[in-house]
Amino acid sequence: MGNIYFDICSIPLFLIILFVCYSRRMTKGNANHLFIALVLISLISAVADLGIEIPRGLLPMSPALTVFCTVSTYIYLIMRNATNVVLLLFLLHLTQTSFLIRNKVAKILFSLPYTALVILLIQNPITHNVFIVTAETGYARAPLMIACYIIAAIYGIVGFVYSIFCRRYLTLRKWLSLLSIYVLAYTAVIIQFFKPDSLLEMFFTAVGEMLVMLAVMRPEERMDSDVGMLSWASYRWDIRNILRSHEHVQIIVIRLQNGREIRNYLGDQKYNEYLTRIAGGIRSIKWKHPNRAEIYLERPDTIYIITEPDDTLTEDAARHLLTTVGEDVRKDVNMGVRSETRICLIRCPEDLSKEEDIISLGHKFSKIDSREQPVVPAGEIVNSQTFAVEVHIEDILDRAIGENLVEMHYQPIYDVRSGRFCSAEALVRIRDPEFGLLSPGVFIPAAEAQGLIIPLGDVITEQVFRFVSEHDLDELGLDFVEMNLSVAQCMDSALPGKFLSLQEKYGVDPARINLEITETTYENVSEIMLENINELIGMGYTFALDDYGTGYSNIQRINRLPLRLITIDKTVLDEISTENGRTILEYTMRMMQKTGKQLVVEGAETREVVETLENLGCDYIQGFYFSKPLPGDEFVRFIEDKRINKTPAGV
Ligand code: C2E
Ligand code: MG
Ligand code: MG
């Protein structure tokens, strides 16, 4: 009898691994399934190995023991070889390269050696050419036993070589742990070759699998454990691998439109509970392929589910899910929470086959699809111009900056008191050869997000300085031109230097340029921004606060800022038809004027609105009623025309 203690020790090790797998909830997903299968099969092999060894050594051979030993040998050979097969499959799944065995030929080649083993074992009871167990001789190997070893070696060597090749798909730690399974198994085989009684193989296998469990199967790396969903990083990683493996899947993007509000309302902890319940709800849906449905969270408000292509979340199911969860939470916190959701269904790779596009659509579908339908099939929007622009925005911006496709348009601003146009706001456009004239609402946020706002801002600034230098503003009756500055520009420590060199290059008087910063810029005010603003003011530039009424409108802060103008956002005009709306506007304007600031109201589209604003005492009005933003030369013609004809502005 061999030294069975190693075999015996391996059994609790396998049981511990299984226990840990279940307690760490590593029960979903193909890689987890294969790993658990690997450990189970290894456990059965170890038990079967003992089933061969114990009777041989401890008891005299009897017919019953012969049968027991024979059955154990069959189980051992079947299972031990299966561990090699499953280990190789595990490796393929872990490295997301299982597509390599997806076609028929590959499948046949892959299963051929194992099939040969099964055939060998099936014919063994008749031929006894693999092994034989008799009461007289006990267990004895027959010549074809070598075939079993060769078959095991085929999977083992292929797996070992492949795992070396897979280095680039895995981190060093994971890769070394995977290699260790093979290295330990080969070491055991070599030791056993020289010392046949040592029976180290199953023990070494258990150690290798334990290393893999500790180093490779780390659900906490993939999980957002506060909510029981996979993390956003895992989503990106899985998408990349799905595309690489040409797998067909469906991605269901659930966007909680008011997720941020719900979070603010519930607080972080309750919000996590809320998301945990959503995850539970999604899991309880009767998916056709429940093991395939993986749930991911991109904090704070976007959930992704990757399913088989024929498995889908209907609008009804989604709504039901979210209202039930909402109801539950409402009962819990004794307050009203109602989630508003939009869902996008992306078939991959049919609708989209690039990682960035899939990520981008998940983020932007509710903005791109303005129809406000709750479920948006990606196929309906991926060919739209808006999506193309959103997806290519980085290239568009690069091209615009590099090839000078940035164009400034100017919108006149009407001075109520003098009845003439006294200034203009410079508004940027991009004239893209492929996508046409693009408005800043589309590309400014993208430029800010991608760190391109500074180079874009530099182009804008230069164009505005050039425009001011090329035209005699006095002759046009304009006091100054307004230019928008974004937060990043305000925080650029080189900003005053850039302005200084431009004013020298173009011979522009700084008093001719009024710089608009938004309320949100000012909310994020930083030391460097204040330094910039003060330095520019010292150089002679003036400032205006844009979009007043859209943020928190901190009156004290506004009072402290040396502002020349305040621009009231056009959304404020939505209320102008009501008595209350007019009262608020009137008193806001008075308050500002009393503190020495002048007011522009933007967004006036009709004569009635203009008249109301005039009656309320507004200083300046900007809006489509007078003119839309116009390209430089058209704008100049417009102003000249108004001056020559001395027509009341806008009529
Ligand atoms: P903003 O600075 O508040 O500019 C006013 C916006 O209101 C402009 O939109 C203008 O076309 C629009 N507008 C003016 N009158 C009316 C009207 O009567 N009705 C309607 N519906 N709209 C009116 P635009 O040109 O699309 O610019 C949007 C925003 O993009 C700007 O809002 C500004 O925040 C930003 N932006 C524009 N140009 C620049 C720029 O050169 N640099 C930076 N950093 N931001 C810019
Ligand atoms: Mg503005
Ligand atoms: Mg504005």
Q: Do 359 and 478 fall into the same domain?
A: no
What's the pLDDT tens digit per position in 36-84? 999 999 999 999 988 887 766 666 667 777 888 889 889 999 998 999 8
Contacts of 221 (CB under 8 A, 6+ apart): none
Mean pLDDT value of segment 123-147: 83
Q: Is the CB of 549 under 6 A from ligand 1?
A: no
Percent of the chain scored above 90 by pLDDT? 33
Q: Is the CB of 279 under 6 A from ligand 1?
A: no
Q: Which pairs count as long-range contacts for 258-262, CB under 8 Å and 24+ apart, including other chains? A: 258/338, 258/339, 258/340, 259/300, 259/301, 259/302, 259/339, 260/300, 260/301, 262/337, 262/339
Q: Give a yes or no: residue 490 inside a domain.
A: yes
Q: Which of 192-201, 351-360, 387-396, 624-633 has the highest mean pLDDT?
A: 624-633
Give residue 567's pLDDT.
92
CATH number of the domain encompassing residue 378: 3.30.70.270
What Cα–Cα distance (Å) separates residue 408 from each residue in 194, 431, 639, 649? 84, 10, 16, 22
**Alpha carbon distance 279, 296 (integer Å):** 9
Specify the residue with its C-alpha closest to ligand 1, atom 25: 427
Tell me the pLDDT band of 648, cut-offs 50, 70 and 90: low
Q: Is the CB of 492 under 6 A from ligand 1?
A: no
CATH number of the domain encompassing residue 63: 1.20.1070.10
Give residue 329's pLDDT.
63
Q: Do 112 and 185 fall into the same domain?
A: yes
Average pLDDT along the chain: 85
What's the pLDDT tens digit per position in 29-39? 677 788 899 99
* Domain finish residue from 219, 251, 266: 219
CATH number of the domain encompassing residue 621: 3.20.20.450
Q: Give a yes or no: residue 453 inside a domain.
A: no
Q: Is the CB of 428 under 6 A from ligand 1?
A: yes
Specify the residue with its C-alpha closest to ligand 1, atom 20: 603
Q: Give a yes or no: residue 407 inside a domain.
A: no
Give residue 651's pLDDT.
47
* Domain finish residue from 178, 195, 219: 219
Q: Is the CB of 113 under 6 A from ligand 1?
A: no
Specify the residue with its C-alpha closest to ligand 1, atom 30: 440
Residue 580, Cβ density class (10 Å: 0-12 exposed, 13-18 middle, ≥19 buried): exposed
What's the pLDDT tens digit per position in 557-610? 777 777 889 999 888 888 888 999 899 889 988 988 888 889 999 999 999 999
Give residue 332's pLDDT.
63
Say which amino acid occupies 458.
Answer: D
Q: Which residue has the higher pLDDT, 170 or 395?
A: 395
The answer, yes or no, to whether residue 198 has pLDDT greater than 80, is: no
Residues 69 and 139: beta-carbon distance below 8 Å: yes
Q: Give a yes or no: residue 355 inside a domain.
A: yes
Give residue 522's pLDDT.
59
DSSP class per residue in 355-395: HHHHHHHHHHHHHH-TT--SEEEGGGTTTSHHHHHHHHHHH
Express the helix, strand and coil content of the chain in percent, nearest 5 each. Answer: 60, 15, 25
The answer, yes or no, to whether residue 649 has pLDDT greater than 60, is: no
Q: Do 329 and 347 fall into the same domain?
A: yes
Q: Which atom, in ligand 1's list, is nearest to the CA of 605? A: 18
Give residue 384's pLDDT.
79
Q: Do 198 and 246 fall into the same domain?
A: no
Counting ligands in written order, the one closest to the CA of 547 is 3
Q: Do 35 and 154 fall into the same domain?
A: yes
Residue of 444, 545, 601 best suited for mutating to test ligand 1, as the one with most atoms within 8 Å of CB: 444
Residue of 431, 484, 545, 569 best suited for mutating to test ligand 1, as the one with most atoms within 8 Å of CB: 484
Q: Do 185 and 251 fall into the same domain?
A: no
Tell me the pLDDT band of 315, cut-offs 50, 70 and 90: low
Q: Give a yes or no: residue 107 inside a domain.
A: yes
Specify the residue with its C-alpha closest to ligand 1, atom 23: 603
Q: Do 242 and 375 fall into the same domain?
A: yes
Q: Give a yes or no: residue 438 inside a domain.
A: no
Lowest mean pLDDT among 116-120, 313-317, 575-579, 588-592: 313-317
Local structure of 582: helix, strand or coil: helix
Q: Is the CB of 440 under 6 A from ligand 1?
A: yes
Q: Do 45 and 152 fall into the same domain?
A: yes
**Alpha carbon distance 428, 407 (integer Å):** 6
SS (H, E, C) 177-189: HHHHHHHHHHHHH
Q: Do 363 and 334 fall into the same domain?
A: yes
Counting ligands in written order, the one closest to the CA of 568 is 3
Mean pLDDT value of segment 247-270: 86
Give residue 275's pLDDT.
87
Give residue 631's pLDDT.
96
CA triple 65-69-72, angle to 5 deg: 140
Give residue 474's pLDDT.
93
**Which among 622, 629, 573 has a CA at the least distance from the CA of 599?**
622
DSSP class per residue in 593-642: HHTT-EEEEE---SHHHHHHHHHHT-SEEESTTT---EEHHHHHHHHHHH
When divided into structural domains, the chain yields a total of 3
Q: Give a yes or no: residue 432 inside a domain.
A: no
Counting ligands in written order, the one closest to the CA of 567 is 3
Mean pLDDT value of segment 482-495: 91
Q: Do 82 and 103 fall into the same domain?
A: yes
Q: Is the CB of 602 under 6 A from ligand 1?
A: yes
Percent of the chain scored above 70 by pLDDT? 90
The answer, yes or no, to whether residue 114 has pLDDT greater than 90, is: yes
Which structural domain, as residue segments, surrounds residue 100? Answer: 5-219
Specify the residue with its C-alpha closest to ligand 1, atom 21: 603
**Alpha carbon distance 322, 479 (integer Å):** 56
Specify the residue with its C-alpha closest to ligand 1, atom 27: 440
**Alpha carbon distance 526, 544 (integer Å):** 18
Give residue 264's pLDDT.
85
Q: Is the CB of 546 under 6 A from ligand 1?
A: yes
Counting ligands in written order, the one closest to the CA of 482 is 2
Give residue 22's pLDDT.
79
**Alpha carbon distance 326, 319 (integer Å):** 10
Q: Do 329 and 418 fall into the same domain?
A: no
Give residue 145's pLDDT.
87
Residues 449 and 465: beta-carbon distance below 8 Å: no
Q: Is the CB of 424 under 6 A from ligand 1?
A: no
CA of 392 to the centre of ligand 1 (A): 22
Give residue 221's pLDDT.
66
pTM: 0.65
Contacts of 532 (CB under 8 A, 6+ apart): 490, 491, 492, 493, 495, 496
Q: Do 23 and 172 fall into the same domain?
A: yes
Local structure of 646: helix, strand or coil: coil
Q: Give a yes or no: residue 404 inside a domain.
A: no
Give residue 600's pLDDT.
95
Mean pLDDT value of segment 87-116: 85
Specify the residue with its C-alpha closest to ligand 1, atom 41: 428
* C-alpha atoms less than 13 angstroms from C-alpha of 497 in its C-beta half-sphere: 4
Residues 186 and 156: beta-carbon distance below 8 Å: yes
Tell me the pLDDT band of 455, cut-offs 50, 70 and 90: very high
What's the pLDDT tens digit per position in 408-438? 999 999 999 999 999 999 999 999 998 899 9
Specify the residue with its C-alpha closest to ligand 1, atom 4: 427
